[in-house]
């Protein structure tokens, strides 16, 4: 898809406002918070599989192993694959979703095939979802970073370093004329790899705010409360961890206060933000 064709596609797609949500298992999916957002949408709303990307060219089966499944007395192998869904939300609003393990090989070709499918579906905007382990407390709203193309938005910070397939897909989408956004939630690294419904809810809330729709997350909220309660029990039973979480809470509250005051536009508030960020960088070293 050349650039001139891509620009024409994007202009035409604005009429439909079609959005493709993409999430990938693996390095970009701490506690499965991102992929579980897609799974929740598929389970909660009317959905159907509409496209797949053949797996053989993109996966190392010693890393992304096939799964053995027994159904009705028959033995089946389920291979890693990319699945695209057409999801109809309440009130007739439609979105598309892509879910897959992060590919092991040929990322450029993989992104090219993904965007070709998005083009076929007249998608206007690609929104990638991700979750990452971070130094943040489970007792506060999990930090969410949202970036919209070249504009850094809520919670977003400049980043230099290794990236995963969501970022590569973002860059490829931009190069081919798609509007693109990314949403990342931070997960407390001290809690291990159990599923984090609190992170999934944060992503769905951010996504809903972005597309103008309130997602039903009632079944996730109970799981999120259980996750928080279990985390609190763990912290109470470990004095060292308790002190560490208190330190994270202090940093979090300081950062929130600084950002709130900075939003007033006062010069002294801006200076407070700089001091708070410098303090957090120092504590991280």
Domain ranges of the chain: 3-217, 238-284
For residue 268, the model assigns a pLDDT of: 61
In the chain, what percentage of residues exceed pLDDT 70?
A: 85
- For residues 116 and 1, the answer to whether their CB atoms sit within 8 Å is yes
* pLDDT(1) > 50: no
Under a CB-based contact definition with an 8 Å cutoff, are residues 106 and 58 in contact?
Answer: yes
Residue 35 has pLDDT above 80, yes or no: yes
Of 125, 211, 210, 127, nearest to 176 (Cα)?
125
Contacts of residue 49, defined as CB under 8 A and 6 or more positions apart, other chains included, come to 83, 84, 85
Whole-number Cα distances in Å, 169 to 55, 112, 155: 17, 9, 21
Q: Given pLDDT bands bounded at 50, 70 and 90, which one contains residue 72?
A: confident
**What are the pLDDT digits (tens) for 100-152?**
999 999 999 999 999 999 999 999 999 999 999 999 999 999 999 999 875 54
Largest distance between two CA atoms of the chain: 70
Q: What is the mean pLDDT of residues 55-79?
A: 87
CA 154 from chain centre, in angstroms, equals 14
Long-range contacts (CB closer than 8 Å, 24 or more residues apart) made by 265-272: none
CA-to-CA distance for 190 and 192, rounded, in angstroms? Answer: 6
Neighbours of 152 (CB within 10 A): 13
> For tokens 């905007």, what's the residue?
125
Identify the pLDDT of residue 258. 84
Give the pairing of strands 46-53 and 82-88: antiparallel
Residue with more model confidence, 236 or 15: 236
pLDDT at 157: 54
Token digits for 17?
A: 């406002």
pLDDT score for 4? 32
Please compute the mean of the pLDDT values over residues 11-33 and round it to a whole number: 80
pLDDT at res. 89: 93
| Range 3-217: architecture per CATH | 3-Layer(aba) Sandwich (3.40)
pLDDT tops 90 at residue 220: yes
Q: What is the chain's mean pLDDT, rounded? A: 87
Name the pTM for this structure: 0.82
Higher pLDDT: 38 or 147? It is 38
Cα–Cα distance for residue pair 27/24, rounded to 1 Å: 8
Band (pLDDT 50/70/90 cuts) for residue 261 is confident
pLDDT exceeds 80 at position 278: no
């Amino acid at each position: 898809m050349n650039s001139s064709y891509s620009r024409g596609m994007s202009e035409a797609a604005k009429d439909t406002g079609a959005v493709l949500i993409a999430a990938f298992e693996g390095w970009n999916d701490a506690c499965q918070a991102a992929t579980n957002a897609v799974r929740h949408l598929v389970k909660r709303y009317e959905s159907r599989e509409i496209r797949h990307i053949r797996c053989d060219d993109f996966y190392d089966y010693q890393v992304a192993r096939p799964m053995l499944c027994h159904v009705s007395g028959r033995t089946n192998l389920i291979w890693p694959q990319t699945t695209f869904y057409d999801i109809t939300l309440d009130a007739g609003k439609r979105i598309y979703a892509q879910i897959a393990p992060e590919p092991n090989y040929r990322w450029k070709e993989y992104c090219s095939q993904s965007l070709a499918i998005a083009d076929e579906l007249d998608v206007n905007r690609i929104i990638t979802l991700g979750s990452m382990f971070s130094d943040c407390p489970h007792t506060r709203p999990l930090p969410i970073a949202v970036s919209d193309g070249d504009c850094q938005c809520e919670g977003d910070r400049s980043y230099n370093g290794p990236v995963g397939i969501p970022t590569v897909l973002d860059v490829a989408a931009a190069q081919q004329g798609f509007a693109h956004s990314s949403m990342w939630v931070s997960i407390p690294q001290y809690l291990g790899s159990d599923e984090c419904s609190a992170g999934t809810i944060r992503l769905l809330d951010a996504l809903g705010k972005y597309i103008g729709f309130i997602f039903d997350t009632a079944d996730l909220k109970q799981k999120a409360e259980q996750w928080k309660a279990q985390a609190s029990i763990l912290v109470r039973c470990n004095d060292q961890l308790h002190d560490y979480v208190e330190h994270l809470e202090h940093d979090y509250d300081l950062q929130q206060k600084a950002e709130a005051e900075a939003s007033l536009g006062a010069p002294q508030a801006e200076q407070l933000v700089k001091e708070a960020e410098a303090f957090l960088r120092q504590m991280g070293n």
